[in-house]
Amino acid sequence: MCGIIGCAGRSEDTLDVLLSGLEGLEYRGYDSAGVALANGSLDVCKKQGEIARLQQAVGGLRGPVGIGHTRWSTHGPPTDANAHPHTDCTGDVAVVHNGIIENYEELKTELRERGHEFTSDTDSEVVPHLVEERLAEGASFEDAFRAAVARLEGSYALAAVTADSEAILATRHDSPLVVGVGDDAAYLASDVPAFLEYTDRVVYLEDGEFARLESGSWTVTDAEGRLLDKSISRVEWDAEETAKSGYDHYMLKEIHEQPRALRKALRGRVDEMTGSVDVESLAGLSPSSVQFVACGTSYHAALYGAQLLREEGVPAQAFLASEYATAPAPVDDDALVVGVTQSGETADTLSALREAHRRDVETLAMTNVVGSTATRECDRTLLIRAGPEIGVAATKTFSSQVVACNLLASTVARGEDAREVVGALRDLPGQVQELLDDSRAEQVADRFVDGAGYFFIGRGYHHPVALEGALKLKEITYKHAEGFPAGELKHGPLALVTDETPVFALATGDDEQATKTVGNVKEVEARDAPVVAVTDGVSDVGRYADEVLRVPETHPRVAPVLANVQLQLVAYHVANRLGRSIDKPRNLAKSVTVE
């Protein structure tokens, strides 16, 4: 949640860099935004609402260093006063903060007793006041910043500037920060896209490390102030990948990027001739059991992965990371805990993975982001290679996670139909493109845009996709939607089915699961509910449907990806017809870095 940007060394266009960076981070929060620039004095401008309001109000602020922030509200509603940066009583210290300071009430009480006045409801505002006190005692900016940080409990990524210093100071604990290394400037952000148009060279900060950015230079030190020799990495993404490229919304662009993302996920990892999968980071992996931990869309991919492994004979379960972190399941010594996280920074998933570490269990990060916290803390990493995803509602990352689950399953189980699966995976990108070219999802959305509620049903591998289809619709249309195993609809939820509640039924192939799903569709049809069948046409489910969304025929393990793309398109077009904020749905943010 929330986004931080900082820039040191571009005095002529620091403001432009900050505003551009905030636009690149808006998927992390868009309740309010603000900037602070230092140039002998401190100029601060912040506004409730999206970045466009800040851009209209900010004027021509100038300075050699500056910080900016886009907020996803935790403490206090989205208002001008609660927007970051926050300042001290003198107006000479400005701080931006991601995370939650758990002891802020105690600190706030102490500071008020010593005469400090607060203007916001946030936990973050205590930080500049703590810095102010130490500066008043004669401490240097860096010493004052370190002393303030030492008082904090909770999670944080912090960046601070003062009126009379041309440096940005920053640190992190359980919330990401990355330094961008330019030729004549240094950058700071909570995520790489914020400064990618200026540099692709990055330094990832670890918990407890402090960064100092000045004009064209940067240093990283540990908690005791010792200089650290940090390596510089290059980001493979380019700035064009984070642009809309002519699409109306990032979400639509990212739906259409799925063929390319899937090819990248598979490249160099599968051999159709031998039916083998070879992923270097998974070499030698042979767990006795697997536990997946994940949140949201990633949890649905985890459910799919767990079923896949169970059917291959490997005991596997999927857990919501927020539950696992506080009530972990029993695990044996040779187990593997897999954290499925698009960003690699999801706080609940990281907590679950750390719990696994405390129990000396091997961990694997299944993630999209090289250098993320999950990749640095886990024993192994399986990159899904989806490329940058800016839209808050996950699309291409889910498809790539499903493919990654197949790579994992093929590595640890090596089932008898491996060659068929590898062949189906090879064909998948082309089949997704075929579906995107021919989909009737827009017409289906037009017909059912006024539905009172929406239900999604599927069996087996299609159950997680039913859940994901419902989540996608909820996220961006604000309509009520629920996903169920198809057989469960009659055990209660059927009471909600009417002629105004479209039911999306997922059925591919003609096995027992498809046959039983047809029976469930007949139950729905008998209650006069409209039915949309998502099918390859092998079963006769289309005979009982009001609308049909076709998917190409393929292996049962791969069909869920195709079905899911159709549901993504339906959700997008319904939201578009309703005029929703598709890329930035209300109350949501892309990377959830608070528990």
Q: Which residues are catalytic?
A: 2, 590
Q: Measure the CA–CA gap between 122 and 409, rounded to whole angstroms.
A: 45
- Position of tokens 């642009």? 243
Name all contacts of 415-423 with Cβ < 8 Å and 24+ positions apart.
415/312, 417/555, 418/275, 418/276, 418/277, 419/272, 419/274, 419/275, 420/275, 420/555, 421/275, 421/555, 421/557, 421/558, 422/270, 422/271, 422/272, 422/275, 422/276, 422/277, 423/272, 423/275, 423/555
**Chain-centre distance for alpha carbon 34:** 23
Q: Measure the CA–CA gap between 425 and 573, rounded to whole angstroms.
A: 27
Structure-block tokens of residue 538: 């092998």
308, 406 Cβ separation under 8 angstroms: yes
Q: Measure the CA–CA gap between 373 and 473, rounded to whole angstroms.
A: 30
Select from 437, 435, 470, 472 the least CA-distant residue to 552. 435
Structure-block tokens of residue 123: 């936990």
In single-letter form, the type of residue at position 94 comes to: A
Q: Measure the CA–CA gap between 584 and 559, rounded to whole angstroms.
A: 29
Tell me the three state secondary structure of residue 333. Answer: coil
432, 568 Cβ separation under 8 angstroms: no
Q: Report in angstroms the alpha-carbon separations of 350 from 93, 251, 255, 321, 456.
A: 32, 26, 27, 8, 30
Angle ∠(319,325,330) on CA atoms, nearest 5? 65
Tell me the three state secondary structure of residue 316. Answer: strand
Q: What are phi and psi of 410, to 5 degrees?
A: -65, -30
Select from 232, 230, 195, 144 the least CA-distant residue to 6. 195
Which phi-psi region, left, alpha or beta, contains residue 109 (left: φ > 0; alpha: ψ -120 to 50)? alpha
Q: How many CB atoms neighbour CB 124 within 10 A?
A: 27
Q: Report in angstroms the alpha-carbon separations of 203 from 4, 112, 206.
A: 15, 38, 10
Residues counted in the chain: 595
